[in-house]
Amino acid sequence: MTPEKIKEKINKIVQKITPDISEQIILDARKKAYQTKKEKTRSFSWKPALIFAMSCLLFVTVIVNKPATPVVAATISLDINPSIEITLDENDKIIEIIGKNEEGISVVEDLDLEGYQVEAALKVLIESLLKHGFLNENANSILVTVDDEDITDSLMKMINDILVEDNFDGSVVCQNLKDNPDLVKLAETYGISIGRAQLITELIALDETYNIEELAKLNVTQLNLLLGNPENALLGIKRMGQASQKDYIGEEKAKEIALSSVGAKETEISDYNIEIDYRHRNIVYVIKFVYNNIEYVVMVNGTSGTILECEQGTILECEQENKQYKYQYGYNNSSGLDDENSGNNNNYGQGGSNNGTNGGKGNNSYGNGSCIGQKNVKRIAINRANASEYNNYRSELSLQDGKRVYCVEFEANNRQYKYVIDANTGEILEEK
């Protein structure tokens, strides 16, 4: 047998005894792939997907139902000495209460009133003010400033009712906040609230002799006393109750002092009137009355009872004089008076220039047979003395050598001044 035949036979025997597993291997591989795919399908869990879906739903729900930032519908400012600001939502519920100064912070720091109805919150707040002593028999006034005029009346009545319920004899002053950007700067400059800044600027608009540096030092009760003066009637200001005069001598005592100063009894006077004002850096009582056909205007220091000024003149002789009160008792410039007719702008003497005196008997604005008036006499005398401060001022209209004159005397610059001034021309006839 040839070698080729032997090799062929061996191959046949090997193939015969060796199984053909290639198809099985392919089949097994396919089967394994199928099983792996099936296992992966079976191993997929809906749990993570469900958790993810629920998380998304929860997130959307929270976003949709999350309370929006409260919209401020109204802002209320309360001033006593503490300054407090309250913001309300459209349902008159408290959004926030803030102390605007040191005293205000001390009042509200322990109060959690968010969400309270405004009336309930105000009751808690006012009781706190009473407890801390900021509201008392001497300082009994609350200044309320509101930026929504629709709630002004109801808010004012609400506060007054709370005070009555607490058996407190208080006074409420209410005003609507005006759109004036200058108030913010003014409030910051003088360390006061915007509400007080607005009230003070409106008082000064009525009477320029008021001084903002001085009025800024007054508390709300003192400002309220000024509002009680008919000359200081402000449009848009609403008041309930009376400002306390417990820190001062009172109207009856001031009246007694004024009448005693001229030797008059109450039964002997007529046309009596008393007003409270702020002059000479003090709360003062200004008493006007007629005694023996002479009209008197007496200014009494509200604290000490000292007579600061006394003016008098016969009614007939002064009937053409401007009788409005406001005698320009200011002190906000070098002359201690306003600048309306002071210095070279005065027209009391020759050429219209007198620098506080009357330079002669030339043309003037008073040579029409009527009195020049007490306020103009005062300007002449005070300017002549170059006085920034004065006290114990007295002025009397009388006849001297057949001529109407004002006899004026006062203290200033640590000395006594006396002048005799022509009641018609404003000429200074005598001075000592």
pLDDT at 388: 81
Q: Are residues 226 and 332 in the same domain?
A: no
More confident site: 57 or 93: 93
**Does residue 27 sit within a domain?**
no
405, 422 Cβ separation under 8 angstroms: yes
Give the confidence band of 400 by pLDDT, cuts at 50, 70, 90: confident
Residue 278 CA neighbour count, 13 Å, CB half: 28
Question: Does pLDDT of 359 surpass 60?
Answer: no
pLDDT in tens, 281-290: 999 999 999 9
pLDDT in tens, 220-263: 999 999 999 999 999 999 999 999 999 999 999 999 999 999 99
pLDDT at 283: 96
**Does residue 53 sit within a domain?**
no
pLDDT in tens, 221-231: 999 999 999 99
**Does residue 60 sit within a domain?**
no
Dihedral angle over CA of 266, 267, 270, 274, nearest 10: 20
Q: Are residues 161 and 285 in the same domain?
A: no
Give the confidence band of 313 by pLDDT, cuts at 50, 70, 90: confident
Q: Are residues 168 and 271 in the same domain?
A: no
Give the confidence band of 213 by pLDDT, cuts at 50, 70, 90: very high
Q: Are residues 210 and 282 in the same domain?
A: no
d(CA 356, CA 237): 38
**Does residue 404 sit within a domain?**
yes
Quote the distance between the C-alpha of residue 47 and its chain's center. Answer: 64
Q: Are residues 224 and 264 in the same domain?
A: no
**Does residue 38 sit within a domain?**
no
Q: Are residues 236 and 324 in the same domain?
A: no
| Domain endpoint, select from 205, 240, 275 | 240
Q: Are residues 330 and 395 in the same domain?
A: yes
Q: What average pLDDT does the segment 93-118 reach? A: 93
Q: What average pLDDT does the segment 372-394 reach? A: 87
Q: Are residues 190 and 265 in the same domain?
A: no
**Does residue 327 sit within a domain?**
yes
Query: Among residues of the chain, what percentage have pLDDT more than 70?
Result: 71
Q: What average pLDDT does the segment 357-364 reach? A: 36
What value does the mean pLDDT of the chain take?
A: 80
pLDDT at 366: 38
Helix (H), strand (E), coil (C) string for 23-59 = HHHHHHHHHHHHHHHHHHHHHCCCHHHHHHHHHHHHH
pLDDT at 208: 83
Give the confidence band of 321 by pLDDT, cuts at 50, 70, 90: very low
> CATH number for the domain including 390?
3.10.450.40
d(CA 288, CA 271): 7
Q: Are residues 115 and 220 in the same domain?
A: yes
Q: What average pLDDT does the segment 155-159 reach? A: 93
What residue numbers bound the domain in which 340 lies? 251-431
**Does residue 329 sit within a domain?**
yes
pLDDT at 345: 33
pLDDT at 373: 80
pLDDT in tens, 333-351: 333 333 333 333 333 233 3
Q: Cα angle vertex 308, ends 302, 311, to 5°?
A: 120
pLDDT at 424: 87
Q: How many domains does the chain have?
A: 2
pLDDT at 33: 61
| Domain endpoint, select from 206, 240, 274 | 240
pLDDT at 339: 33
pLDDT at 343: 33
Q: Are residues 224 and 260 in the same domain?
A: no
Q: Are residues 216 and 323 in the same domain?
A: no
354 Cβ contact partners less than 8 Å away, ≥ 6 residues apart: 344, 346, 348, 380, 383, 426
Q: Are residues 334 and 365 in the same domain?
A: yes
| Domain endpoint, select from 240, 262, 287 | 240
**Does residue 23 sit within a domain?**
no
